[in-house]
Chains A and B, each alone.
Chain A
């Protein structure tokens, strides 16, 4: 493994070897010249998933010569549109997720997920609601009491407008009997910027993927009030929303899509390949390192899930006035 990666590494660095070095790969690989498209800039979740899949597919001998391309923009809808319209010689997989579903609606995208074939749901991240360690809000109940008394006084920080975090905030508001349009939602670029505003106490609470916040919980800088997972498997000390009487189970999922023109026989073959990928030890190891939770579903289950999810997201966004 490390020999192979060293070889690839040198290829990437030394220009002299470029022309000559076409890597010889095992002949049994069934996906040749696969292109994985991450509809986002390098560094984000979709890009990391694309590159993780590239790494595991190649190392497990499931595919060869896998390329990752970034086509960023507009919540993934530019990458999606490009994916649907471009004619390609090689097989291609598009990485996407819940945010893309929302972006299609809010951006009134001409291309939707109906024009691609769902291949697999891979992972998901459960959302956690967190407050600074010195916040007077000690529990989820404190938060909801304050929110009900004066909705505007609670600033909910999270990712982009119409994205997963705002959707969850609206669902919670609805569940506790406050109009979603009263949520004082502060959209940020997420990541470090959001965490910094939360740590600095500039927001009442911050919402984001559990794994991203976990180090701050461990260091005692932020306090988790509730998490959107079905059980306490992630964190034994933090109650789930369900335990708190808010009947919501919510994951920011990520998955893979292929072109609509995919033949049924090929679809089955790719479905098998991805199944082998997620069942490999290397993939499991990788999920553990990155703090991603496996929510694997094969092509058919994923298609059914997607149909339901589409309706749910559309309903929330129209409540917010972000989509019709």
Chain B
């Protein structure tokens, strides 16, 4: 649940984050040793310019967050449970993709995401996800000779 006030806090955090990002880019650029190769305009000018712009716009946002112009002044309700479910689904996919292969990892991601949007029947979700992933796998790997990972676990097992 989020009220208007927390959205404002969010905007302040966003503004502060931009200032921090600008400062970070500036420091990182200053710390990178410049190369001997000749260059009229070196590789540092644009990063500094971007850093300055980020800081300036971040400051403007900070000021705005204290005024009444913030968005969703009447509040914005968010279901964080569903949000984390989808975020977790994506994370599981990139952690497991190369080990277990495209079809299982995409199927699990599909099922979790569908659950987050209120589809409760796990078996149906998983079956649908697996079917979609399998069709994609066939088209890409067999049809177009591209390599979606089959899963190193299975490949190893097969080799032994």
Contact = CB atoms under 8 A, between A and B. Distances in A.
A137 interface: no
B143 A18 contact: yes
Contacts of A67: 145, 147
B38 A181 contact: yes
| Chain A residues touching B, majority SS | mixed
Contacts of B158: 89
B50 interface: no
Contact of B37 (A12, A19, A86, A181): A181
B21 to A, nearest CB: 24
B144 A19 contact: no
Interface of A: 12-13, 15, 18-19, 67-69, 86-89, 152, 161, 181-185, 320-322
A183 B38 contact: yes
A87 B143 CA distance: 25
Contacts, number: 43
Interface string B21-55: 00000000000000111100000000000000000
A23 to B, nearest CB: 12
Interface of B: 35-38, 138-139, 142-145, 147, 152, 155-156, 158-159
A12 B138 CA distance: 11
Contacts of B37: 161, 181, 185, 320-322
A87 B139 contact: no
A322 B38 CA distance: 11
Contacts of B139: 15
Contacts of A182: 38
A86 B139 CA distance: 24
| Chain B residues touching A, majority SS | helix
Contacts of A86: 152
B33 to A, nearest CB: 9
A152 B10 CA distance: 51
A238 B92 CA distance: 60
A180 B35 CA distance: 13
Given A89-B155, A89-B158, A89-B159, A12 B145 contact: yes
A322 B156 contact: no
B36 A321 contact: yes
B35 A322 contact: yes
Contacts of A181: 36-38
Nearest to A14: B143
Contact of A15 (B143, B147, B155): B143
19 contacts: A12-B144, A13-B143, A15-B142, A19-B142, A67-B147, A86-B152, A87-B152, A88-B155, A89-B155, A89-B156, A89-B158, A181-B36, A181-B37, A182-B38, A184-B38, A320-B35, A320-B36, A321-B35, A321-B37
A12 B140 CA distance: 10
